[in-house]
A and B are shown apart, each in its own frame.
Chain A
């Protein structure tokens, strides 16, 4: 597959684009740093407004008893995303293009339509997060929601992949504050006792609400847009075959960081219930306000800003996955390095998605609850399909050759993950659509 050229790239001789070092180890570190980004972003952007809500609720209701779910999800998220990174590096194409080319127009259109719909509804929930958090800050959502929409549009319109990536990585790293807050609210490792982290709270068996929250945590941690996003991002960044090892490390670090942050979100929810006497969890913004009454304004404002940060990360990543996927299958020019006039369709999809979602949230009495439920059901339908296509593509020896195709152990792990996701997605969809079957 790889075609080697003996010609030294012209740009190599330009001092501004070449970093020279005398040490091999320094070169490896620098190489990792230039490749680093897509893996962290795709993972951490999934800790979006919906995830903050799910994780803090899980912590508030079940304390530390759901930390095991996150630990279980660590290898699952890594293996899923490693596959798309590998596919992106091997083909230089996005996930939507690959489904279109290898499974035909029907499956291609189905995947893209489903993704666009699901992503748009997810965007609405991100702006709902901004609405909720800024309302608690006594700021008018009529100002903050459009402001965030314009900000996230400007982020991509600068026509520089590196600028967008730097800003987004910075926003991801701001989530370290969740760890600080977990400690600030009084959490210490002494609280992690076998009884505290057992699968179920003492005296309680499996209840329907427990199962639902487990499924919600799984559904929140692995989302269909992530598969499309990372492959397109890797292709847009033009990662080379030799970058695969670093891309894997990037994905691994992203997965570990995201799971730690998610765990801290659970801990914050848990500490909120244990710190504030008589506190009953409603939503993360209300939780931040309640904690503010005990720990001061800094805690309240900080947590509300973290909810906004989660939403902003979700908005830019989800919108980009839509824009990349649609523009790729339409054969439009795509890429964050292109100026807006060079990739009008690509940028237009991004802008229209953001503006429409922001506008919908500002409509009084918008059916947000219905939208959230639809997101859950559609995600349930979409995720196993995307995973199956991914698994089949990664076994496509004609396409990938021996170097990038799945190994047998990859297949055992991946089919196990897919079967598990199928089962969970069906239970989630049935739970949402037929809740009476789960009433206990």
Chain B
């Protein structure tokens, strides 16, 4: 039960509202991730990951160039 459902609670002859710290509350049942496979490769997901790969490779090449430049092997 969500803690907020408990807030409005009959308490003797008057109503009282209850506040519970999340760490003191009953843990909620979240989505069970153990059965989840990797995400489906939709067009958006595939395109995003391709762009990310291109970006990462470009950055690595840039860093490699910088390293070679620092060591004096190549000069711009």
Taking Cβ atoms with an 8 Å cutoff, the residues of A that contact B are: 1-12, 14, 17-24, 26-27, 30-31, 34-35, 90-93, 97-98, 101-104, 107, 161-162, 237-243, 337, 377, 380-381, 384-385, 388, 391-392, 395-396, 398-400, 422, 426, 429-430, 433-434, 436
**B48 part of interface (Cβ distance < 8 Å):** yes
Smallest CB-CB A-B distances: 6 pairs: A9-B26, A92-B30, A3-B29, A17-B24, A27-B17, A433-B66
**Smallest CB–CB gap between A325 and chain B, Å?**
16
Pair B23/A238 contact, Cβ less than 8 Å: yes
- Residues in chain B near residue A239, CB distance under 8 A: 22
- Residues in chain A near residue B3, CB distance under 8 A: 9, 12, 240, 242
Pair B31/A1 contact, Cβ less than 8 Å: yes
- Residues in chain A near residue B62, CB distance under 8 A: 429-430, 433-434
14 contacts between A and B (CB under 8 A): A1-B30, A5-B1, A11-B25, A12-B6, A12-B20, A20-B19, A23-B17, A26-B17, A30-B19, A239-B22, A385-B55, A433-B62, A433-B65, A434-B76
Interface magnitude class on chain B: 35 or more
Taking Cβ atoms with an 8 Å cutoff, the residues of B that contact A are: 1-4, 6-7, 11, 14-31, 33, 36, 38-40, 44-45, 48-49, 51-52, 55-56, 58-59, 62-63, 65-66, 76
A419 CA to B30 CA in the complex, in Å?
A: 32
Pair A17/B17 contact, Cβ less than 8 Å: no
A9 CA to B18 CA in the complex, in Å?
A: 12
Pair A9/B20 contact, Cβ less than 8 Å: yes
- Residues in chain A near residue B22, CB distance under 8 A: 34-35, 237-240, 243
- Residues in chain B near residue A426, CB distance under 8 A: 55, 58-59
Pair B1/A6 contact, Cβ less than 8 Å: yes
Pair A5/B21 contact, Cβ less than 8 Å: no
Number of A-B residue pairs with CB-CB distance less than 8 Å in the complex they form? 160
Q: Is the interface of B mostly helix, strand, loop or mixed?
A: mixed
